[in-house]
Structure 1
Amino acid sequence: MSGQATAVVMSLAAALLFAVSAALQQRAAGDALRSAPVAQRRRRRWLPVAAVFGRLVRDRRWLLGWMVNLAGFGLHAVALRFGSITVVQALLLAQLMFAQLLLRRRPVWQDWLGTVVVAAGLVLLLLVRRTAPADPQRVHVPLAVLVVAAGIVGLLGLARIVPRRRGWLRGAVVGGAAGMCFSLTAVFVVLAGADLARRGILELATDWVIVGLAASTVAGTVLVQDAFAAGPLPIVLTAMSIADPVSSTAIDLLVFDPQRLGLLSLSAYAGVGVVLTIGVVLLVSSPTRKAEARVPVAATR
């Protein structure tokens, strides 16, 4: 199996596991926050889910979701070793398609049309971005990390002022922040893999990349649980699935593998973006997801 094929298979398998994990953990986090006393939740206005983390780690659904997510992370790391971060992170959009099978309501024609359009966009992306850089450039990575981190902090500040009756909106905003955090995790995984192949595990153990990987992984875990507790699965998963590949693609093309993109290349990427956007809009605006969004969520303010 070629490197590109391996990356595709591993990415899709990881997307399936991430969708299953999200479904399990979203239900556990939502139930835990809804059952917590209001006063307890209000003491954690920035991250309300932090007030119930002790309850979550004792929830069998949440623990099962965490183990499934860990398995997905392993497959994700393998995919990033063989494919470009642009392709791998975009393929995680398949979570939206797999999530359809986990909804409490039967998908309608718009769900399936959106699925087909997203799949078409991913195929086009595979044709446009075929290979990963053999030695990803890292000179501007710290600046890129700071920019993305600033975006995450900005989204969290926005989430803090969202009215409590708009739980779905808060879930989407925090989900976007989690998606950006996951893009940083992917960046650090790529750098760690390159270091490991080039220098060995002893050199990797002393590299700042390990610290970044640990920080982004922990932050992403906390943010995604908070998003799950605030909003319904389709809304949160959609926000994460959009923010992650957008951030990852920007870092890949501007930092990892800087290149002059001609008019043809820019048009190709723009075309892929349009197709994926249409597919995502179809999925987000479907009656199935609107019905899921009306599921009551806990007040966070």
Structure 2
Amino acid sequence: MFGRRSPAARSWRVYCGVGLSGQVTAVVGSLAAALLFAVSAALQQRAAGDALRSAPVEAQRRRRWLPVVAVFGRLVRDRRWLLGWAVNVAGFGLHAVALHFGSITVVQALLLAQLMFAQLLLRRRPGWQDWAGTLTVSGGLGLLLLVRRTVPADPQRVHVPLAVFVVAAGIVGLLGLARVVPRSLGWLRGAVVGGAAGMCFSLTAVFVVLAGADLARGGVAALATDWVLAGLAASTVAGTVLVQDAFAAGPLPIVLTAMSIADPVSSAAIDLLVFDPQTLGVLTLSAYAGVGVVLTIGVVLLVSSPTRKAEARVAAAAAR
């Protein structure tokens, strides 16, 4: 009598096992993707920076919005950049697997680990303010995970166009701001464009989830006839261009910091609009406001740290 389990108990055990397995897969996949993204960023940042510095000033000025476009021909012939691109593709695959098993907010927030991986790759010892800023940002993103700990798996497509419009408007606004940043403040331009790239990556994550839903529902035929495929291609290309421009403009830690913060924050906003709009209310908005305050404090600590100021001075000297 006591040795037999009811069907409900057996179902609960199976559910918990599958759920836990999926969460572990999402976490491991996200962290592995973060490591590959950090390696890719280190390789491509050096290649993009060298290519832009060696390009004629006239060519850069003709493309004031995105100067890196002037040197893309050189980048595709650079072995470092190509290796970084290959590593990035592998990271994108792991990222897609993580998104299949976990929510957008959780997966995108875990990509913050690429900041720590990048510091290890650059062999730089961060100061106390860098650690304080990183821990504060991590704490803010941890609060974000608590607020969005459960998210429905099925997106409400009727809200997708609004989310795309809001994020695209934010990207255009940041690019407009980057256009007026003086050349001597390359680190600031890198941070602004890096933020735009992070927002673009959050759109890519949404399109990956929607594409996966298409494949699960109707296979390749369903995906091929859905506008989501075009959105995925557009956001991927735009994100690639933006991140290369950010790498060429500013130091890697500053660019990655901006990307790593803009991505999960933008993803959380998309989560609310597309996956769970019913939870919008005073309590939810207040929680997000608190997260925003914590993240702002962390960003101020990071940007004003002696390490970041030294990196900014090096970048400014290289731009002269």
TM-score, normalised on structure 2? 0.86
Structure 2, unaligned runs of 5 or more: 1-19
Aligned partner (choices 1, 25, 32) of residue 44 of structure 2 = 25
1:69 and 2:102 correspond: no
The corresponding residue for 1:168 is: 187
Aligned partner (choices 122, 127, 130) of residue 111 of structure 1 = 130
The corresponding residue for 1:201 is: 220
Aligned partner (choices 170, 179, 193) of residue 151 of structure 1 = 170
Question: Partners of 1:156 and 1:288 in 2: how far apart?
Answer: 26
1:47 and 2:66 correspond: yes
Instruction: After superposing the two structures, state which structure 1 stretch, 217-226 or 241-250, moved more.
Output: 241-250
* Superposition CA RMSD, Å: 2.3
2:121 is matched by which residue type in structure 1? L
Q: Displacement, 1:129?
A: 2.5
Residue-by-residue CA offset, 1:38-81 (whole Å, 9 max, x unaligned): 12222221211111111111111111111111111111111111
1:129 is matched by which residue type in structure 2? R
Q: Displacement, 1:273?
A: 4.1
Question: Partners of 2:291 and 2:180 in 1: how far apart?
Answer: 34
Residue-by-residue CA offset, 1:185-207 (whole Å, 9 max, x unaligned): 01101111112112222111111
Q: Is the 8 A contact 1:41 1:300 kept in 2?
A: no
Q: Is the 8 A contact 2:202 2:266 kept in 1?
A: yes
Aligned pairs (5 A) from 1:221-300: 221-261=240-280, 265-296=284-315
Q: Displacement, 1:118?
A: 3.8
Identity over aligned pairs, percent: 88
Q: Displacement, 1:263?
A: 5.7
Structure 1 residues 148 and 125 mapped into 2: Cα distance closer, same or farther (>3 Å)?
closer
Q: Displacement, 1:300?
A: 8.7
* SS of 1:151 mapped into structure 2: helix
TM-score, normalised on structure 1? 0.91
Q: Displacement, 1:259?
A: 1.9
* SS of 1:294 mapped into structure 2: helix
Structure 1, unaligned runs of 5 or more: none
* SS of 2:181 mapped into structure 1: coil
1:142 and 2:161 correspond: yes
Structure with the greater alpha carbon radius of gyration: 2
Question: Partners of 1:166 and 1:112 in 2: how far apart?
Answer: 24
Q: Is the 8 A contact 1:20 1:99 kept in 2?
A: yes
Question: Partners of 2:296 and 2:24 in 1: how far apart?
Answer: 24
Paired residues, what number? 301
Structure 1 residues 108 and 13 mapped into 2: Cα distance closer, same or farther (>3 Å)?
same
